[in-house]
Structure 1
Amino acid sequence: MIEIKGLQKSYQMGSNSLHVLKGIDFNVNEGELVAIMGSSGSGKSTLLNILGMLDEADEGTYTLDGKIIKDLNEKVAARYRNQFLGFIFQSFNLITYKNALDNVAMPLYYQGVKRSQRVERAMHYLEKVGLADWADHLPNELSGGQKQRVAIARALASDPKVLLADEPTGALDSTTSYEVMDIIQKINEEGKTILIVTHEDDIAHMCKRIVNLKDGVIIDDSVVNQVPAKPVAHV
């Protein structure tokens, strides 16, 4: 599903160059649930940005579902992101003046899906995350856990090949974090490929594989015994 070879990335900082990724080799098979860990400055966010086509490597190759991702103009990159990827962010990134249903339906709008079909599919995914009864509510009427579940539903709405989650539990308390991870595990069990950037060890062990980055290189890549997320009542 994802194949990365020899990835290098540097940023110019005034007169200095900051070498962030230093030759990353990294493959993800379809249906995997992978945690990417590392301290601040390890390169994990840069790697996620490249995987999400929000940034491009200086050297190396990135292949996604058989397509080489290189030298894309913004229009093509946006189309590929909408076609292949679903994003889940720590800060939820919901549109404040749109209700939960319209937030979930937003990726389908950009795909040109008809309004009636958008509503039907958005409601399906809200039901999937246990929020059908909150479809008409605005983000400021939702708890943190509910906002993240709306964000998960939105990420799933366009049926992407891969979900990329950037610290999806970082703004949540432990109980709500486990609830969110329980949903993510269930989505993965249905066959969805998911990559999670996290600094939380317990969250990482709810994945099936942990990749550790340090100073721009992978220092460990291990399959782990997945810890089930504790099922808790919806909040």
Structure 2
Amino acid sequence: MIEIKDLNKSYHMGSNSLHVLKGIDFSVKEGEMVSIMGSSGSGKSTFLNILGMLDEADSGSYTLDGKPIKNLNEKVAAKYRNQFLGFIFQSFNLINYKSALDNVAMPLYYQGVKRAERMEKALHYLEKVGLAQWATHLPNELSGGQKQRVAIARALASDPKVLLADEPTGALDTQTSYEVMELIQNINDEGKTILLVTHEDDIAHMTKRIVNLKDGLIIDDSNVTQVRASVAKNKHLQSKQTSNV
């Protein structure tokens, strides 16, 4: 699904050059669920931007679902993003003056899908994330967890090949984080390929593979035993109940 070879990226600031990615080799098979970890300055944000076609590498190759991602103009890049990728952000990135239903339908609008079909599909994905009854509500009427579920529904609406989740639990409390991860795991169980950037070790272990970046290099890439979010959520609830006794 994703094949990256010898990826390099530098940023030039005056006479200085900062080499951010230093020959990354990375691949993801269809249906995998991979977390990318690394401290600030490790290169993970730059790496995610290149994966998301929001930035381009200086050298090396990036192939997504058999298509080389190279020298794309913004129109083609936007088309590919809409066709291949679904994005989930820490800050949700919902449009405040549009309902949950309209937010979910937005990617379909850019695909040229007619309104009636857009609304039908958007409602389907809101049902999938358990929020059909909130379809007419604005984002400021939703909790953080509900906003992230709307964002997940929006990411799924165009049926992308890959979901890119950038710190999807970063703005949520522990219980809500586990509920969101339970939903993301269920989506992966259905066969969707998911890449998730996180700095939280417990969240990373809810994926099936952890890639660690440091100073622009992959220093570790390991398959892990996946922790089911539903189990972690129940343990957290039991711990809270015990502490309240």
Instruction: Report runs of 4+ in structure 1 exceeding 3 Å deviation.
Output: none
Q: Percent of counterpart pairs with the same letter?
A: 84
Match of 1:198 in 2: 198
Q: Deviations along 1:128-163, whole A, 9 cap, x unmatched?
A: 000000000000000000000000000000000000
Paired letter, 1:223 = N
Q: Deviations along 1:28-76, whole A, 9 cap, x unmatched?
A: 0000000000000000111000000000000100000000000000000
2:201 equivalent to 1:174: no
* Separation (CA, whole Å) in 2 of partners of 1:141 and 1:169: 19
Q: Deviations along 1:164-222, whole A, 9 cap, x unmatched?
A: 00000000010000000000000000000000000000000000000000000000000
* Separation (CA, whole Å) in 1 of partners of 2:134 and 2:226: 31
* Separation (CA, whole Å) in 1 of partners of 2:13 and 2:144: 36
1:1-235 matches, within 5 Å, as 1-230=1-230
Paired letter, 1:99 = S
Larger Rg: 2
Q: CA deviation at 1:13?
A: 1.9
Instruction: Name the TM-score, length of structure 1 as normaliser.
Output: 0.98
Query: Which of the pair is proportionally richer in helix?
Result: 2
* Separation (CA, whole Å) in 2 of partners of 1:45 and 1:20: 10
SS of residue matched to 1:230: helix
Query: Structure 2, unaligned stretches of length 5 or more?
Result: 235-245
Paired letter, 2:17 = S
SS of residue matched to 1:45: helix
Q: Deviations along 1:59-96, whole A, 9 cap, x unmatched?
A: 10000000000000000000000000000000000000
* Separation (CA, whole Å) in 2 of partners of 1:229 and 1:58: 38
Aligned CA RMSD, in angstroms, stands at 1.0
Paired letter, 2:127 = E
Instruction: Name the TM-score, length of structure 2 as normaliser.
Output: 0.94
* Separation (CA, whole Å) in 2 of partners of 1:38 and 1:44: 6
Paired letter, 2:180 = V
